[in-house]
């Protein structure tokens, strides 16, 4: 975002103009929410504080009862110009009187270290005394990239965060995202960078009159030690749109009769009608599993989804030698084991990992990130009840089904699968099991 602001400034848009847009946008949002109550705007020394000065001046000129409290004098030229517009007193932050509406403009993206204890304590007091806390750009003390949250926002929640110009990683990654409350984007009239792209409803293919089971996508799933995990993935693949799902190896008993069971052999998996192969759920980590994974990756015959146990057996240099796409679906622990801790925000880390592996990476978590080397799609707001055994197997099957569709773009397919999985999770509500989730993919798919 700072790069976008810098580019806008370099192209002739002054910081004062951007700040005016930001301040007016904040004032407009506050006007809708304040309902005539007293407003306290707390301002820091930088441009975030400048946004607050503009917002306060606009609100004052419109007759709203508004006061400013500041931690220090403005330190940037634009923030000084903004403060010059303010006609009222400026209260010292430490002694500021609370108000029912608190507008937090202490620090935004320029935060250079954690908040001092006295600032944090005073913010806690002011926020606790407020009926409504609104943060300009970020709750002060939030690291925009590392997505850490300040203590005060844990004690006295921010209801609304007004993201200025673009979403930053902290607006979508936890714990900061939880501390932001509802996030509203304020347009500053500058081009939004693609750093944070929240995935919208995917454009999913529907069968036409000429469709048959193979044109809808055939998914092959390699089963292993825990046959139930592979079966969950198989049900998910069927219910999320695949036309044909075959389990190779020991798929065990049970599951819908629509799932075809076959022995694992290299010839079967070279079937040209297969649209994508999934390996990993319940696979085990023995030598047989390792050999099967290595053979599939080397064969380069079909797009691959690699999940669970298979991520522990993967030679990370192998996907880049293939021509057909590979999707890796690690949770945080598997991600760290595979890639360590690359630099930057979690979004940067997922993109670096995708570049390193030559694969699409689906980094699973409360916010799931789908990344290629060049782009990320963010899926925030997953139902926390998804934290139950087997939901990862369901996700892997769902992604495999999207990838198996003829002509599928791997990043879009992985993102669509992640979206469907999250939607099914929402439909399930509370205290569900992975089998329910797999079944909920039918209504999730129908509603997309």
Ligand X SMILES: NC(=O)C1=CN([C@@H]2O[C@H](COP(=O)(O)OP(=O)(O)OC[C@H]3O[C@@H](n4cnc5c(N)ncnc54)[C@H](O)[C@@H]3O)[C@@H](O)[C@H]2O)[C@@H](O)CC1
Which residues of the shown chain bind ligand X in the complex (CB under 6 A)? 5, 9, 15, 18-19, 22, 44-51, 75-76, 107-113, 115-116, 136-137, 164
Least distance from ligand X to the Cβ atom of residue 29, Å: 14
Residues 6+ apart with CB under 8 A from 12: none
Strand boundaries in 165-273, DSSP class E: 182-186, 218-222, 244-248, 260-262
Q: How far is the CB of 155 from ligand X (least distance, A)?
A: 18
SS3 24: helix
- In this complex, which beta carbon is closest to ligand X, that of residue 165 or of residue 202? 165
Asked if residue 284 lies in contact with residue 309, where contact means CB atoms within 8 angstroms, the answer is yes
**Cα–Cα distance between 164 and 131 in angstroms, integer?**
23
Cα 30 to Cα 134: distance, rounded to the nearest angstrom:
8
Is 393 annotated to bind ligand? yes
Closer residue to ligand X, CB minimum distance, 14 or 211:
14
- Here the contacts of 252-258 (C-beta below 8 Å, separation 24 or greater) are 252/223, 252/227, 252/228, 253/227, 254/228, 255/231
When the beta carbons of 93 and 432 are compared against ligand X, the nearer one is 93
Q: Is 365 labeled as ligand-binding?
A: yes
From the CB of 252, what's the least distance to ligand X, in Å? 54
d(CA 105, CA 138): 8
Determine the Cα–Cα distance for residues 184 and 163; give it in Å rounded to an integer.
6
367 marked as part of a ligand binding site: yes
CA distances from 307 to 169, 324, 335 (A): 26, 17, 11
CA distances in angstroms from 280 to 81, 84, 218, 271, 314, listed in the order given: 59, 62, 17, 20, 10
Asked if 187 and 25 count as a contact pair (C-beta separation under 8 A), the reply is: yes
Does 366 appear as a known binding residue? yes
Q: How far apart are CA 370 and CA 417, in angstroms?
A: 10
Q: How far is the CB of 139 from ligand X (least distance, A)?
A: 11
At 133, which helix (H) or strand (E)?
Answer: strand 132-136
d(CA 294, CA 240): 28
Sign of CA dihedral 398, 400, 406, 410: positive
For residue 389, what are its two tokens? 């055994």
229 is in an annotated binding site: yes
For residue 367, the minimal CB distance to ligand X (Å) is 21
Specify the residue, 18 or 396, whose C-beta has the smaller distance to ligand X.
18
CB of 198 to ligand X, least distance (A): 19
Determine if residue 331 is labeled as part of a ligand binding site. Answer: yes
> At its nearest, how many Å lie between ligand X and the CB of residue 235?
46
- In angstroms, the Cα distances linking 245 to 60, 152, 241, 418, 441 are 64, 51, 10, 19, 15
Query: Please, which residue, 118 or 291, has the CB nearer to ligand X?
Result: 118
Per-residue 3-state assignment (H helix, E strand, C coil) for 144-178? CCCCCCCHHHHHCCCCEEEEECCCCHHHHCCCHHH
Q: How far is the CB of 349 from ligand X (least distance, A)?
A: 23
Minimum distance from CB of 118 to ligand X (Å)? 10
Whichever of 75 and 273 has its CB closer to ligand X, that residue is: 75
Q: Which CB atom, from 18 or from 437, has the smaller least distance to ligand X?
A: 18
In this complex, which beta carbon is closest to ligand X, that of residue 15 or of residue 395?
15
Annotation: binding site for AMP: 364-368, 392
Annotated binding site for (6S)-NADPHX: 229, 282, 331, 393
């Amino acid at each position: 975002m700072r790069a976008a602001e810098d580019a806008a400034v370099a192209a002739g848009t002054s910081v004062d103009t951007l700040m005016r847009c930001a301040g007016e946008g904040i004032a407009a949002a506050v006007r809708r929410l304040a309902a005539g109550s007293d407003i306290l705007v707390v301002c820091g020394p930088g441009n975030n504080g400048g946004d607050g000065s503009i917002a306060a001046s606009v609100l004052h000129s419109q007759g709203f009862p508004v006061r400013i409290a500041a931690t220090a004098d403005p330190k940037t030229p634009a923030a000084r110009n903004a403060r010059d517009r303010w006609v009222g007193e400026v209260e010292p932050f430490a002694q500021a009187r609370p108000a029912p509406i608190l507008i937090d403009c202490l620090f935004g993206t320029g935060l250079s270290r954690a908040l001092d204890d006295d600032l944090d304590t005073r913010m806690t007091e002011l926020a606790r005394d407020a009926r409504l806390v609104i943060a300009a750009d970020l709750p002060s003390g939030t690291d925009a990239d590392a997505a850490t949250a300040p203590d005060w926002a844990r004690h006295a929640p921010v209801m609304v965060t007004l993201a200025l110009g673009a979403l930053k990683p902290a607006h979508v990654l936890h714990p900061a995202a939880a501390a932001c409350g509802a996030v509203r984007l304020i347009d500053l009239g500058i081009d939004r960078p693609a750093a944070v792209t929240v995935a919208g409803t995917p454009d999913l293919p529907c069968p036409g009159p000429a469709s048959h089971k193979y044109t809808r996508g055939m998914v092959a799933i390699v089963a292993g030690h825990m046959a139930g995990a592979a079966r969950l993935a198989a049900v998910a693949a069927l219910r999320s749109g695949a036309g044909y799902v075959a389990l190779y190896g020991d798929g065990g008993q049970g599951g819908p009769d629509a799932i075809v069971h076959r022995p694992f052999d290299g010839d079967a998996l070279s079937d040209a009608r297969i649209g994508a192969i999934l390996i990993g759920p319940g696979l085990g980590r023995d030598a047989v599993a390792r050999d099967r994974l290595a053979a599939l990756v080397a064969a380069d015959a079909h797009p691959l989804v690699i999940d669970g146990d298979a991520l522990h057996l993967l030679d990370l240099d192998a996907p880049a030698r293939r021509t057909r796409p590979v999707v890796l679906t690690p949770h945080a622990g598997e991600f760290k084991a595979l890639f360590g801790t690359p630099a930057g925000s979690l979004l940067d880390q997922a993109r670096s990992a995708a570049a390193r592996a030559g694969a699409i990476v689906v980094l699973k978590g409360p916010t799931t990130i789908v990344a290629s080397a060049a782009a990320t799609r963010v899926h925030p707001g997953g139902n926390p009840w998804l934290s139950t055994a087997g939901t990862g197997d369901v996700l892997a099957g769902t992604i495999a089904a999207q990838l198996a569709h003829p002509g599928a773009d791997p990043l879009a397919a992985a993102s669509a699968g992640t979206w469907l999985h999250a939607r099914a999770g929402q439909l399930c509500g509370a205290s569900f099991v992975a089998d329910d989730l797999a079944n909920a993919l039918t209504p999730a798919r129908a509603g997309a």
